[in-house]
Amino acid sequence: MRWALLIALLFGGCSVQNVKPWQKATLAKEAFNQGACSKNYTKFQNHVYFSKEASKGGGGVAGGGCGCN
């Protein structure tokens, strides 16, 4: 009985709420963007990524061309 109650509470506490059309403008503000508060957020993300990869560079786009060999 306790397990059934625990499972019911766990699943009952998890829910997904839909965003209403009038709430989308509020959620689209820059303050809700990831890293909007920090101008160096992208730089920090790249630092962490390259620290984990143990490599540096290669973040840019390669040259143009048709791609045929």
List, for residues 6-52, the tens digit of each pLDDT value. 888 777 776 777 888 888 888 787 777 766 566 677 778 777 887 77
pTM beyond cutoff 0.85? no
Q: Which tokens is 17 given?
A: 């709420």
40 vs 4, higher pLDDT: 4
In which band, very low, low, confident or very high, does the pLDDT at 59 lie, cut at 50, 70 and 90? low
Separation of alpha carbons 24 and 12, rounded Å? 26
What is the pLDDT, as a whole number, of residue 7? 85
